[in-house]
Structure 1
Amino acid sequence: MSRRYGGSPAGTVISVIADLAALILILWIAFYLFDANTANNVVSWIHDAANWLSGWSHNLFSIDSDNWRTVVNYGLPALVYLFIGHAVAGRTNRA
Structure 2
Amino acid sequence: MSRRYRGNHAATAIQLTADVCAAILALWILMYLLDANRANELVSFVEDAANWLATWSRDLFTMDTDWLRVLLNYGLPALVYVLIGHAVAARVR
- TM-score normalised by the shorter chain: which range applies? over 0.9
Contact 1:37 1:43 in 2 (8 A): yes
C-alpha distance in 1 between matches for 2:2 and 2:68: 36
C-alpha distance in 2 between matches for 1:76 and 1:8: 28
- For 1:87, the equivalent position in structure 2 comes to 87
2:68 is matched by which residue type in structure 1? W
- For 2:49, the equivalent position in structure 1 comes to 49
Contact 1:2 1:12 in 2 (8 A): no
> Runs ≥4 in structure 1, deviation > 6 angstroms?
none
2:27 is matched by which residue type in structure 1? L
- For 1:78, the equivalent position in structure 2 comes to 78
RMSD across aligned C-alpha pairs, in angstroms?
A: 0.9
C-alpha distance in 2 between matches for 1:61 and 1:75: 11
Unaligned segments of structure 2, at least 5 residues: none
Unaligned segments of structure 1, at least 5 residues: none
User: What are the superposed Cα offsets for residues 37-92 of structure 1, whole Å, 9 maximum, x if unpaired?
Assistant: 01111111000000000010022123110000000010000000000000000000
1:34 is matched by which residue type in structure 2? L
TM-superposed CA distance for 1:2, in Å, is 4.7
TM-superposed CA distance for 1:24, in Å, is 0.2
- TM-score, reference length from structure 2: 0.96
